[in-house]
A and B are shown apart, each in its own frame.
Chain A
Amino acid sequence: MLSHMKRTTLILDAALHAELRRRAAAESRTLTSVVERTLRLGLAATAGRRARVTLPSYDLGPFLVDPRAARGRDPGAEDA
């Protein structure tokens, strides 16, 4: 009957566990259904939020060869 469900074990913070149990009792629901609903809400919120990306950057000093015109140029040849 529950073949589409998966059994798992979660190790939860005690306070979080108590809060989930309190909600389950208040709503006359099972702990499983409260955890499932909370997880679904959390996943949906994460998917909807756009992650902020900060790319690494370095201080390389001035370009000695302009990247706009670097193609076809051998940087080493200029010093030769």
Chain B
Amino acid sequence: MIAVDTSVLAFAVNRFAPEHARCARVLERLAESDRPWALPWSAVREFLELVTHPHAVARALQPADALGFVDELLATPGARALAPGPGYAAALREALAFADPAPGLPPGFETAALLREHGVRELLSADAGMRRFTFLEVRDPLRGPEWTWAEPPARRYRVLAVAAEPRRPSAPASSRERSRT
């Protein structure tokens, strides 16, 4: 399954942007297909924040219009919204382990963790920063030939199992013994 990132959504909705035509065509190809594709909720949230913010775009979109755009996508037969599930914490750890060790959380970590949890390996994104999560095949729809379904899918990998109950650190036997006395 392939997922769509914030940047593609933002360019696709803004017909003023030079990148609009290519990104809109990508979304329309996905929307017209019965094949499953993914829309991570984190990317939806970032999209909504971006296109409705008056400092992010010259003529900010009304939230209802931005949500309407998302609704249109989610109503298409192949669309799958990705939300955090029980394995999210484990997936987040794994996603962060793939990124470069740097202080703080890397941008895009929420989307990377969602994709990791749901076993999605391919991401359509114009954000080169997502390449830091090396388990992802990031396809930039603005570079090279236009993206189509004909592109070979990325190698699959296992879907994370639901994380086991986190283990609590146990006290050393000697201290347990002492506490009983």
Contacts and interface: CB of A to CB of B under 8 A. Distances in A.
A61 B107 contact: no
Interface string B17-35: 1001000100110011100
A60 B126 CA distance: 19
Interface residues of A, number: 26
Given A53-B32, A58-B15, A70 B27 contact: no
A70 to B, nearest CB: 5
A78 B32 contact: no
A53 B58 contact: no
B57 A60 contact: yes
B53 interface: yes
B6 A70 contact: yes
B129 A58 contact: no
Given A55-B12, A61-B16, A68 B127 contact: yes
B56 interface: yes
A72 interface: yes
Interface string A50-80: 1111111111111111011111100110110
Interface of A: 50-65, 67-72, 75-76, 78-79
